A = this chain, B = another copy of it.
Amino acid sequence: MAHPVTPVSPPLKDELDIVIPTIRNLDFLEMWRPFFQHYHLIIVQDGDPTKTIRVPDGFDYELFNRNDVNRVLGPKASCISFKDSACRCFGFLVSKKKYIFTIDDDCFVAKDPSGKEINALAQHIQNLLTPSTPFFFNTLYDPYREGADFVRGYPFSMREGAPTAISHGLWLNIPDYDAPTQLVKPLERNSRYVDAVMTIPKGTLFPMCGMNLGFNRELIGPAMYFGLMGDGQPIGRYDDMWAGWCAKVICDHLNLGVKTGLPYIWHSKASNPFVNLKKEYKGIYWQEEIIPFFQSIVLPKECTTVQNCYIELSKKVKEKLGSIDPYFQKLGDAMVTWIEAWEELNPPAQAAQSTGVKKEEPSTKAK
């Protein structure tokens, strides 16, 4: 093993789960071992449940396949996508931790410009534990970072910031492009290391990528639903986008912060642009109506919880997007099912209860 085991307890060890949709790459966990091995992993297998995912020794993990999803959720399992990495949100549902870090299995450890391996998880934790600044733009980026502060002209009353709900990390090497851009620029690689974390201002939407993402489950968990994608659905690759639009609108309503920037991971493999085009093409034109829809949403001030906001959003989705395609009626219903599942598995006194799926010890398979 190339890296020594950290002797001290890593940050938030007992308060964070790492959620990974299907590990197809055997090197993935080995590469992340020095950073992940003290944390609990939740692996959500997206395809054929009879296939076995091999997890190297020494990891504390649970693995859920489709049979587990059906068993845990019963009829509500319909809201969890099948044969698509969107199924990862099942991991958010069954986690009992305060924080989630989710990462794709083609994302490896990146290096900073000095050649040092980047501990992406540690940076996400730092992002999540320090406030955001959604109400006014700080030109020197994250003012809570070592060596930085609020610049002249930043209102003092706004310097407390807002609690950070989401930490969106970026990717070196293969950029997260849509299929048309992949086709046009097959050789483009992201080699620019931008040494910044910034808050996406209140009122501004962004394209949230699920590849390298941290969030505070207590603050925003119920909005991190990755929608209906993959098997039997008319679109794919909009799972994380959907979650990002919904979550950002709700963060803005509840005065929570969303950060983007550091940490980088090394995105190793471009997915097939032809396959992606097939998955994306409806999303690409539907999105032209979806974005103005999300930009115009005003949630009623009576909505003071993420769950309330999300149910309200589901109604608006059916009402305003239902005319685009029957898919949005189905999606609106699935959003409600998701919240019902969330409330069932995460009742108010959740900490003291067991859902029957939580296990204390590492094993090779959940059930």
Contact = CB atoms under 8 A, between A and B. Distances in A.
Most central of A137, A176, A196, A209 by chain B CB within 10 Å? A137
Given A188-B147, A192-B147, A204-B201, A153 B178 contact: yes
B203 A137 contact: no
Contact of A237 (B141, B152, B191, B193): B152
A74 B105 CA distance: 70
Interface stretch (A154-162, A304-312, A351-359): A154-162
Nearest to A291: B155
Contacts of A176: 139, 151-152
Contacts of A207: 136-139, 151-154
A241 B188 CA distance: 39
Contact of A190 (B137, B140, B208, B260): B140
Interface string A195-212: 110101111111111000
A68 interface: no
Contact of A288 (B157, B178, B188): B157
A287 interface: yes
A163 interface: no
Contact of A193 (B154, B195, B204, B280): B195
A148 B240 CA distance: 21
Nearest to A185: B149
B140 A244 contact: no
Contacts of A350: none
Q: In which size bucket is the chain A interface?
A: 35 or more
A147 B156 CA distance: 38
A113 B192 CA distance: 13
In the complex, the count of this chain's copies comes to: 2
Interface in A156-195: 156-158, 168, 170, 175-178, 180-181, 185, 188-195
Contacts of A139: 168, 170, 176, 206-207, 209, 260
A150 interface: yes
A118 interface: no
A204 B137 contact: yes
A262 to B, nearest CB: 10
Contact of A151 (B158, B175, B194, B203): B175
A209 B151 contact: yes
A284 interface: yes
Nearest to A156: B284
A285 to B, nearest CB: 8
Contacts of A151: 175-178, 207, 209
Contacts of A202: 204
Nearest to A193: B195
Nearest to A242: B153
Given A148-B192, A150-B177, 17 more contacts: A136-B204, A136-B205, A137-B204, A137-B205, A139-B176, A140-B190, A147-B189, A150-B181, A151-B209, A152-B237, A152-B280, A153-B207, A154-B207, A157-B288, A194-B194, A200-B201, A201-B203
